[in-house]
């Protein structure tokens, strides 16, 4: 217990750093200060080079290799002026983390001196040793090399560090054979596929000379903060990112007094500090507020192009980690750090469009634009209906399993929420006649305008996993720890499929001479009739919904192991192959890595549970039992009738804890066939329940054992002391 009591003293004595930017540059001035952005490029690059790079960024034109040297040289000069000594190719391996390989700019000369060098080929390609990143069988051990390749569409930046600054270059990470070993490659491929199909549809609607259509993503990140002294005294938090023990505090979140309440001063200081760092990196941090649970907060940067938002999201997480430490806190991105308390998600707000057209999910103010809007909505309805299982699989992880399907996060059943008015419109379309609103006359596609749809982006239906929010769809199932790249890749790909389907139909109708508006109306009716079953505007937490969903034929993939096999079904393999996002080998590798990560996560947690249970909690309980027993003996010795209730009370859960630990240990020692699926099933069906049994006994003891003997910081302490 020394660790806990010491932590309490240290927390008490801790003085957080004060944060003030008074007298320093205004936020507007620091924004993008460390980014090699368009403004910097325009200043520093020869005009023709600048134009060429912009053509790649804005219009998806293939990068002209001849410009690389010029860009590299300008980038190097700029970075050196910013105090950079090294450059790093930053990539996103399938661990979900961010990886970097740093190299010095200095190149030795033959005369023994060294000069700062950065050639175009070094910018464009790197060669980190890839052998220790998960690859799911894509790389033979004798060929451990992987390549990193510059992603021109995501700006390079300088990362500040007291030990020297680094020029960071966002890159893809691929194997010798060109297969994706990362999250960025498929995201870029899927964006391309989706853009091409969307452009076909826009052409049908009369748009010419289109700018590239891309996907936009606005991620909302939820997280917990705990005092670092407590964090370090909790080996479970430290090693697994979540508490494996801990009784529910007497005061939970029932009071609803934290949500949107005043932000504690210390946390506000941390937020101001991080926002400034994010601004320097060009990350548009916007809203910040308390979340539902005590100690829980949210940050939502402004939406950006999908792959930039994804890179920024990763960078945001690492920045948060560093700065939380500086403020004596640890940030928890785990989906469920505290059981019985709300978990954390990372809502992915998705739309598609470009800088000319804005979001294509915005209803227009004329009949023509409305028809276009309804087509893109219909494409989404079809995509989510056909591929709900893939969406579920894109957010499957051991940690997110604790959240999905609990009554706080969207259910594991993937349905779509349209809001009353849009749902009503599609209802009317399904019935073959479109009425603008009740009582008014019939409305025909291409002739009448839609009623004004509410654009309030508030959480009107928090229970839906995929909700229309006025100008975008919000995918709420992604977990707080996950990269947004995987769900974005899936959304882009299934949208590409639906848009392709629609474009084929409409192009054929036009070729046959059918009236375009009539063709659109027929198509919308067909789609909503076939795929309307996925639309659900009711309460996703209700007990009736799973029953109703089953009748509708919607999948309810409760756990990671239910979801992962979706990745390797025949239709899924064909889908991703068709749009050149993943070939079959790459899909199989993602599936294998999903299993591998699951086994590793549960395995670590199970071993930690066994260890903490046996070496931390059991000894404390036994000490208390001894104290009580000594007391009983002492009373008896002086002839007082001793009440042994207290002794029985502590002895029963101690026996339960011993028994549960024995079961867990034997489950951990089980001989398993050397097969990932069998190991994962064992983790799910044997280890997880055995861990829960250990926890139940330990949590019962927490409420019995004398407080001064209890070894781990309690929920009460961790959640309410900031």
Residues contributing to the site for Mg ion (CB under 5 A) = 220
Least Cβ distance, residue 477 to ligand ADP (angstroms): 14
Determine if 307 is a binding residue for ligand ADP (CB under 6 A): no
Choose the stretch contacting ligand ADP; rule: CB under 6 A; options: 297-305, 445-453, 489-497, 584-592: 297-305
Q: For the CA atoms of 17, 20, 24, 25, what is the dihedral angle to 10 degrees?
A: 110
Shortest reach from residue 220's CB to Mg ion, in Å: 5
Q: Nearest distance from residue 263's CB to Mg ion, in Å?
A: 15
Q: Which two tokens stand for residue 485?
A: 């790249």
Cβ atoms of 487 and 371 closer than 8 Å? no
Rounded to 5°, angle at Cα 219 from 255 and 524? 105
Helix axes 184-204, 485-511, angle to 10 degrees: 30
Q: How far apart are CB 56 and ligand ADP at their closest, in Å?
A: 23
SS3 211: coil
Range 344-363, binding ligand ADP (CB under 6 A): 347, 349-351, 359
Give the nearer residue to ligand ADP in terms of CB position, either 364 or 565. Answer: 364
Residue 300 interacting with ligand ADP (CB under 6 A):
yes
Question: Would you give the binding string for ligand ADP spanning residues 244-283, x where CB under 6 A is met?
Answer: ----------------------------------------
216 counts as binding ligand ADP under rule CB under 6 A: yes
Closest to 459 in 3D by CA, of 450, 448, 447, 468: 468
Q: Could you tell me which of 533, 535, 526, 466 has the C-alpha nearest to residue 501?
A: 526
Query: Per CB under 6 A, does 457 bind ligand ADP?
Result: yes
With CB under 6 A, what is the number of residues at the site for ligand ADP?
18
- The DSSP-derived string for 41-87 is HHHHS-HHHHHHHHHHHHH-PPP-GGGHHHHHHHHHHHHHHTTEEEE
The nearest distance, CB 713 to ligand ADP, in angstroms, is 31
Nearer to ligand ADP, 219 or 653 (CB): 219
* Contacting range for ligand ADP; rule: CB under 6 A; set: 156-164, 195-203, 296-304, 408-416: 296-304
Does position 633 bind ligand ADP by CB under 6 A?
no
Q: Give me the residue label for tokens 């059991």.
A: 618
345 three-state secondary structure:
strand
The residue within the footprint of ligand ADP, chosen from 132, 161, 177, 287 (CB under 6 A), is 287
User: Least CB distance from residue 347 to Mg ion, whole Å?
Assistant: 6
Question: Shortest distance, CB of residue 379 to ligand ADP, whole angstroms?
Answer: 16
Q: Does 191 bind ligand ADP (CB under 6 A)?
A: no
From Mg ion, ligand ADP, none, interface partner of 663 (C-beta below 5 to 8 A by class): none
* CB contact at 8 A, 334 and 403: no
Task: Pick what 218 binds: ligand ADP, Mg ion, none; C-beta below 5 to 8 Å, kind-dependent.
Answer: ligand ADP
Element (H, E) at 417: strand 416-417
Contact flag: residue 459 with ligand ADP (CB under 6 A): yes
Residues 6+ apart with CB under 8 A from 42: 50
Which residue has the CB atom at the shortest distance from ligand ADP? 218
640-643-644 Cα angle (round to 5): 125
The beta strands (E) that lie in 263-406 are given as: 285-290, 296-301, 304-305, 329-332, 346-354, 358-359
CB-wise, 382 or 476, nearer to ligand ADP? 476
Contact pick of 91, 118, 303, 466 for ligand ADP (by CB under 6 A): 303
Q: Is 15 exposed, middle or buried (0-12, 13-18, 19+ CB in 10 A)?
A: exposed
Could you tell me the smallest distance in angstroms from the CB atom of residue 651 to ligand ADP? 50
Which stretch in 22-30, 386-394, 452-460, 516-524 sits in contact with ligand ADP by CB under 6 A?
A: 452-460
Residues 6+ apart with CB under 8 A from 53: 41, 45, 63, 67, 71, 152
Partner from Mg ion, ligand ADP, none binding residue 349, C-beta < 5-8 Å depending on class: ligand ADP
- Which x/- pattern, by CB under 6 A, does the window 463-482 give for ligand ADP? --------xx----------
List of E strands, 283-405: 285-290, 296-301, 304-305, 329-332, 346-354, 358-359
Q: Which of residues 411-450 bind ligand ADP (CB under 6 A)?
A: none
Query: Which chain residues interact with ligand ADP by CB under 6 A?
Result: 216, 218, 220, 287, 300-303, 347, 349-351, 359, 457-459, 471-472
């Amino acid at each position: 217990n020394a660790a806990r009591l010491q932590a309490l003293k240290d927390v008490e004595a801790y003085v957080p750093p004060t944060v003030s930017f008074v007298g320093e540059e205004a936020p507007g001035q620091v924004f993008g200060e460390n980014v090699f952005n368009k403004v910097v490029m325009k200043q520093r690059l020869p005009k023709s080079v600048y134009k060429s790079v912009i053509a790649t960024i804005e219009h998806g034109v293939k990068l002209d290799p001849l410009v690389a040297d010029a860009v590299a040289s300008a980038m190097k000069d700029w970075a050196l002026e910013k105090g950079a000594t090294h450059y790093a190719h930053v990539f996103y391996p399938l661990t979900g983390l961010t990886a970097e390989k740093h190299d010095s700019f200095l190149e030795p000369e033959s005369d023994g001196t060294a000069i700062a060098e950065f050639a175009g080929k070094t910018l464009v390609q790197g060669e980190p040793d890839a052998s220790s990143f998960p690859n799911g069988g894509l790389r033979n051990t004798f060929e451990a090399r992987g390549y990193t390749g510059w992603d021109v569409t995501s700006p390079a930046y300088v990362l500040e560090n007291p030990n020297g600054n680094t020029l960071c270059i966002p890159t893809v990470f691929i194997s010798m054979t060109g297969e994706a070993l990362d999250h960025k490659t498929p995201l870029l491929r899927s964006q391309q596929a989706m853009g091409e199909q969307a452009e076909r549809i826009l052409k049908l609607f009369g748009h010419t000379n289109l700018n590239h259509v891309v996907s936009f993503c606005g991620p909302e990140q939820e997280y917990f903060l705990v005092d670092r002294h407590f964090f370090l005294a909790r080996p479970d938090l430290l090693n697994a990112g979540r508490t494996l023990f801990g009784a529910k505090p007497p005061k939970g979140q029932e009071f609803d007094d934290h949500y949107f309440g005043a932000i504690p001063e210390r946390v506000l200081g941390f937020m101001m500090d991080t926002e400034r760092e994010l601004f320097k990196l060009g990350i548009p941090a916007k809203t910040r507020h308390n979340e539902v649970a005590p100690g829980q907060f949210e940050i939502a940067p402004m939406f950006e192009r999908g792959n930039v938002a994804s890179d920024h999201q990763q960078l945001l997480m690492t920045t948060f980690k560093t700065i939380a430490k500086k403020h004596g806190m640890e940030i928890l991105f785990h989906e469920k750090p505290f059981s019985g308390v709300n978990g954390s998600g990372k809502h992915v707000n998705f739309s598609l469009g470009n800088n000319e057209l804005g979001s294509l999910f915005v209803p227009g103010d004329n009949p023509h634009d409305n028809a276009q809007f309804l087509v893109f909505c219909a494409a989404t309805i079809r995509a989510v209906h056909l591929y709900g299982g893939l969406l579920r699989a894109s957010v499957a992880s051991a940690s997110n399993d604790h959240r999905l399907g609990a009554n706080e996060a969207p259910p594991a059943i993937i349905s779509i929420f349209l809001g009353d008015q849009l749902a009503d419109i599609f209802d009317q379309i399904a019935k073959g006649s479109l009425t603008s609103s009740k009582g008014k006359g019939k409305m025909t596609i291409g002739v009448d305008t839609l009623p004004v749809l509410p654009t309030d982006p508030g959480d009107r239906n928090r229970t839906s996993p995929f909700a229309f929010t006025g100008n975008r769809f919000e995918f709420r199932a992604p977990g707080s720890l996950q990269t947004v790249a995987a769900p974005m890749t899936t959304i882009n790909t299934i949208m590409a499929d639906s848009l392709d389907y629609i474009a084929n139909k409409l192009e054929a109708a036009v070729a046959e001479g059918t009236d375009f508006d009539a063709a659109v109306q027929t198509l919308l009716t067909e789609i909503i009739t076939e795929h309307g079953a996925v639309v659900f505007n009711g309460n996703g937490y209700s007990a009736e919904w799973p029953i109703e969903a089953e009748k509708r034929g919607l999948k309810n993939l409760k756990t990671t192991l239910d979801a992962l096999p979706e990745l390797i079904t025949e239709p899924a393999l064909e889908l991703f192959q068709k749009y050149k996002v993943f070939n079959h080998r790459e899909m199989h590798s993602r599936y294998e890595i999903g299993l591998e990560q699951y086994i590793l996560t549960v395995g670590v947690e199970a071993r930690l549970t066994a260890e903490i249970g046996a070496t931390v909690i059991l000894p404390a309980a036994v000490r208390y039992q001894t104290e009580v027993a000594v007391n009983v003996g002492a009373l008896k010795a002086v002839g007082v009738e001793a009440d042994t209730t207290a002794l029985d009370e502590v002895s029963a859960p101690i026996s339960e804890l011993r028994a549960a630990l024995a079961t867990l240990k034997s489950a951990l020692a089980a001989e398993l066939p050397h097969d990932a699926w069998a190991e994962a099933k064992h983790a799910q069906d044997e280890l997880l329940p055995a861990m829960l049994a250990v926890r139940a006994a330990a949590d019962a003891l927490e409420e019995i054992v004398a407080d001064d003997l209890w070894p781990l910081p309690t929920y009460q302490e961790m959640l309410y002391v900031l």
